Structure 1
Amino acid sequence: MNVPEIEAREVPADAYLLDVREQDEWVAGHAPEAVHIPLGQLQARVEEVPADQTVYVVCRVGGRSAQAAAWLNHIGRDAINVGGGMQSWEFAGRAMVSESGGPAFVA
């Protein structure tokens, strides 16, 4: 599987960031501008993903997002995997928010 990849610190601030992690992971901490569609729901909800711009796909460490990016590219979308996932995002000091009201972290 050859999927384009970018480092978390290089994702543009105005990027369409698609988070494909599970609900509990999302609640614990995510990028403020991210859109959440769990990997298992992506095929059914693909129309929610813009077809006219690059989609940066993120998960916890990069495996699920690589699968999602490969599938999106296969159906004609422009998708790039965020290497290292949210762990790299957090390590790079990028902004994160929590849905729980507590401090954001990568679950």
Structure 2
Amino acid sequence: MFGPQIPTVTIPEITEETYLLDVREDDEWAAGHAPGAHHLPMMELPARIAEVPTDRDVAVICRSGGRSGQVVAYLMRNGWDQVRNVEGGMGDWAAAGRPVIGSDGQPGRVL
């Protein structure tokens, strides 16, 4: 979607050691997100950029890969080199059978 300049990662390549950054809106996060993911809505990123680690692999995810690709590009312009866009986003995450939980801890769904 973004060409070779935006590095990507596939769902199977994401491990427990990967910092999974979910940049979707609050309602999307509440409906369903990956366990262990860190929520930082895309529009809040400039003010909260210091929360994103620079010393480990960061995989950025949204619903389908569009917003997360923009975030990856932004982070790369600001010095991050271990950042990747999750191919297919949360849609592919759920389709791959990876767990999705709601903000109440119960099984969630991808909006």
- TM-score (norm: length of structure 2): 0.90
**Which aligned segments of 4 or more residues in structure 1 are displaced greater than 4 angstroms?**
none
- Distance in 2 (CA, whole Å) between partners of 1:51 and 1:101 is 29
| 1:72 correspondence with 2:100 | no
For the aligned residue pairs, the C-alpha RMSD in angstroms reads 1.2
**Deviation, structure 1 residue 53:** 1.2
- Distance in 1 (CA, whole Å) between partners of 2:62 and 2:31 is 13
Q: How many residues align?
A: 107
Partner residue of 2:90? 86
Partner residue of 2:7? 4
Partner residue of 1:105? 109
Task: Tell whether the 8 Å contact from 1:25 to 1:106 is kept in structure 2 after alignment.
Answer: yes
- TM-score (norm: length of structure 1): 0.93
Report percent identity of matched pairs.
Answer: 48
Any gaps of 5 or more consecutive residues in structure 2? none
Secondary structure of the 1:41 match is: helix
Partner residue of 1:49? 52
**Deviation, structure 1 residue 54:** 1.6
